[in-house]
Amino acid sequence: MKLSDYAKQQGVRYETAWRWFRDGKIQGRRVGAHTILIDEPARSASPVQAATVVYTRVSSAENKANLDSQAERLVAYCAARGYQVSKVVKEIGSGVNDNRPKFLALLADPNVGRIVIEHKDRGTRFGFRYIETLLTAYGREIEVVNQAENETEDLLTDLTSIIYSFCARLYGQRRAKRKTERIVQELEAQDAPG
């Protein structure tokens, strides 16, 4: 396959794929002056081949630029581990709630054998072990690239997440209340005889 097609399949920019080729991280050959063909590993003939999917997430649209850099780091990690990435999924949504349709679709898809994420909180802020245990029970896995160094760090991260979650909900409720009051005032102003 052409290097440009390989880059699209892996969810990275062409320049990144070219660097991988140049550095020997992916195998391929030059054909002519401007064409590079990537030698894909032979795919198994088994009817159901468990796919490796990279999942990236940011909490808000303000951090959207981070999605691409997360994807590039994770695809490079997978290439170094010898994983063939079948898809890169990028999502914007809070890790506190479960309103992330792309992540839920990955969890529900039995053809996805491995989900690779950068940190636990990219998957979920709470209940990560439940997800991990359920996937393992079905012969699947979720692989976290950057694990916490120790239990104290993990506990502090959880505490911070809980405080962040409650603050976000509190401020969201206040904003919703102000917005509702503003709408009521505008409607009353429109209905007032003038």
- Of 44, 46, 59, 60, which one is the catalytic site residue? 59
Active site residue 59: yes
| Separation CA 36–CA 85 (nearest Å) | 19
Catalytic site positions: 59
